[in-house]
Amino acid sequence: MRIPPRPAASTPKAAAPVSAPASSARASASTLRRAPGQAVTFSQDFHARLDLPPARLEEKLALMRERPSSFFRMMPTLFHADLRGPYSAESRLVDRPAPRIPVVGDAHVGNLGTFRGPEGKPVWGLNDFDQAGRGSPEVDLTRTATSAVLTARESGLSSKEQEVILRAFADAYFSTLESLAGGAENPGAFLTKKEATGAVDDLLGDANDTSREALVKKHARLEGPDAASFRTSDTLKSVSPAKQREVRAALADSLATLTGRQDIALPPRVLDVARRLDAGGSSYGLERYWVLARAADPKAPPVLLELKELLAPSVESPPLPADGSAVVDAQRRLSGHANPLTGATRMGGRAFLVRELEPEKAKLGDGALTGKKDLVSVFTQVGQVLARAHGATPEQARELRFWVGDDAAQATGRLSAFARAYADQVRADWSALRDGT
């Protein structure tokens, strides 16, 4: 794995509650469950063991300092450690123990977007499963709810407006789960354009207007049926012949089992390889390669593929090694769909995810995540999608309904309280990192 399992001693511990710092905008009357400096120490230890190139580490830390939500999104490992430690009691949404099910692990609004659905048309839903594992549904619910509060606060929304957004998310989740447990069909953890509303509907409309040819031409020069090369830039770099050979071999291993695909020539014929920089959230700075592969139809533009190094997931304890096959399996289980070109491989003893860079892929911009009306709309749809992921099978949906029972209102109240308190913690942690304390 890229990073070894975390020693038990380095997990943040609960401390005597401390008052939320005055610099924490809109801080509630709640108290922090641990000192912010522990988050800084945790981050330093994590990155020391991650062993990123110095330039990439500086870039990642600069991004983490931009705003609290950036810090939150780029450190899921800290969140998981907090759920096992100082915030374990606060994260329990009902008094009954939650079932262990497949969970996303890093569920937040930035990890939903458009992609090519099972019928070949754009859909919107969960699109990042790198941190997936087995755990309590509370992991995803509390992380998403905290994401909602941070997004709302950074948009300047009031405490009452934050509460409306949180309740919209929770109501959509629990009502969708109730329907699935009652026998409603689950099409997958995504929404079609017919189901989507507001900014999500607009994003899907834009995704319909994209094409593979336009995407490839944006990043590469097409020089003939068997010749294409990447346009190098500050974020897309050429690689050595040795690395070209290594990537080609890893890609061949990943696609060796594919049969009957019409999109890509088999065996794969690689036209060019480049290294992608300046990409990713928690995986920022890890190795990432783009590949131009010949299409099955020689008249069609090349297929653009990505080999993305994986960070070891931390949702389970002890942490599991990074495993591309496990990520692919989690995507199929939780989403109900995966592009057939999605696979796994290894290079240099490290795990990589292989996937097509779909032209349909896009995320909601900051402009769509501002006003109360927009955020209520978006997080209502997030709640629907997350419930579909957790209730992927009728058995899981019924198990979750039994867990919630008649206590959805209690769970919603506790979820809201957790999200507000943990958003305060994130703000304090971010301030400590930004100020170097």
**150-161: per-residue pLDDT in tens?**
999 999 999 999
Question: Does 22 reside within a domain?
Answer: yes
- Give the confidence band of 100 by pLDDT, cuts at 50, 70, 90: very high
Angle at 312 between CA 306 and CA 313, to 5 degrees: 105
CA atoms of 69 and 430, how far apart (whole Å): 9
The per-residue pLDDT for 223 is 85
What is the count of structural domains for the chain?
A: 2
The per-residue pLDDT for 280 is 87
Which residue has tokens 């990505």? Answer: 306
Q: Average pLDDT for residues 101-114, to the nearest whole number?
A: 96
Indicate whether 189 pLDDT > 80: yes
Question: Does 313 reside within a domain?
Answer: yes
Residue at which a domain ends, from 356, 380, 412: 356
Angle at 167 between CA 165 and CA 168, to 5 degrees: 65
- The residue among 132, 130, 188 whose CA lies nearest residue 385 is 188
CB 388 within 8 A of CB 189: yes
Q: Does residue 107 share a domain with residue 38?
A: yes
Q: Does residue 234 share a domain with residue 197?
A: no
CA atoms of 153 and 427, how far apart (whole Å): 10
Indicate whether 217 pLDDT > 80: yes
Question: Does 3 reside within a domain?
Answer: no
pLDDT of 170-179, one tens digit each? Answer: 999 999 999 9
Q: Does residue 417 share a domain with residue 347?
A: no
Q: Average pLDDT for residues 418-426, to the nearest whole number?
A: 98
Tokens linked to 400: 């979750």
Indicate whether 348 pLDDT > 60: yes
Q: Read off φ and ψ for residue 264, nearest 5 degrees.
A: -130, 140
CA atoms of 333 and 102, how far apart (whole Å): 8
Q: Give the containing element (helix H, strand E) for 354.
A: strand 350-356
Q: Give the containing element (helix H, strand E) for 39.
A: helix 36-50
Residue at which a domain ends, from 305, 335, 356: 356
Indicate whether 220 pLDDT > 90: yes
pLDDT of 108-138, one tens digit each? Answer: 999 999 999 999 999 999 999 999 999 999 9
- Give the confidence band of 10 by pLDDT, cuts at 50, 70, 90: low
Judged by average pLDDT, the poorest of 74-78, 131-135, 365-369 is: 365-369
The per-residue pLDDT for 185 is 96
The per-residue pLDDT for 312 is 94
The per-residue pLDDT for 9 is 45
The per-residue pLDDT for 25 is 41
Question: Does 241 reside within a domain?
Answer: yes
Question: Does 2 reside within a domain?
Answer: no
- Give the confidence band of 436 by pLDDT, cuts at 50, 70, 90: confident
Indicate whether 83 pLDDT > 90: yes
- The residue among 371, 353, 366, 378 whose CA lies nearest residue 125 is 378
The per-residue pLDDT for 319 is 83
- Give the confidence band of 267 by pLDDT, cuts at 50, 70, 90: confident
Q: Which residues contact 314 (CB under 8 A, 6 or more apart)?
A: 6, 76, 77, 80, 81, 105, 131
Judged by average pLDDT, the poorest of 26-30, 37-41, 107-111 is: 26-30
Q: Does residue 201 share a domain with residue 153?
A: yes
Q: Does residue 29 share a domain with residue 155?
A: yes
Q: Does residue 223 share a domain with residue 142?
A: no
List, as own/partner pairs, every contact residues 291-294 make where C-beta atoms lie below 8 angstroms and the sequence separation is at least 24, other chains included. 291/247, 291/251, 292/216, 292/220, 292/228, 292/229, 292/230, 293/251, 293/264, 293/265, 293/268, 293/269, 294/225, 294/226, 294/264, 294/265, 294/268, 294/269, 294/270
The per-residue pLDDT for 17 is 52
Q: Does residue 34 share a domain with residue 168?
A: yes
Question: Does 150 reside within a domain?
Answer: yes
Q: Does residue 273 share a domain with residue 173?
A: no
The per-residue pLDDT for 356 is 95
CB 357 within 8 A of CB 306: yes
- Give the confidence band of 8 by pLDDT, cuts at 50, 70, 90: very low
Residue at which a domain ends, from 309, 325, 356: 356
Print the domain residue range for 275. 211-356
Q: Does residue 218 share a domain with residue 202?
A: no
Q: Average pLDDT for residues 196-220, to the nearest whole number?
A: 94
Q: Average pLDDT for residues 265-293, to the nearest whole number?
A: 92
Q: What is the mean pLDDT of the chain?
A: 91
The per-residue pLDDT for 3 is 67
Question: Does 373 reside within a domain?
Answer: yes
Tokens linked to 102: 């497949």
The per-residue pLDDT for 246 is 97
Tokens linked to 153: 């606060």
Question: Does 298 reside within a domain?
Answer: yes
Q: Read off φ and ψ for residue 262, nearest 5 degrees.
A: -95, -10
Q: Does residue 226 share a domain with residue 79?
A: no
Q: Does residue 333 share a domain with residue 226?
A: yes
Q: What is the pTM of this model?
A: 0.93
Q: Average pLDDT for residues 367-378, to the nearest whole number?
A: 93
The per-residue pLDDT for 188 is 96
Per the model's pLDDT, the better-predicted residue between 94 and 318 turns out to be: 94
Q: Does residue 128 share a domain with residue 37?
A: yes
CA-to-CA separations, 422 to 24, 78, 146, 385, 413, in angstroms, rounded: 12, 12, 7, 23, 14
CB 263 within 8 A of CB 296: yes
> Could you report how far apart the first and last alpha carbons of the chain are, in Å?
30
The per-residue pLDDT for 226 is 80
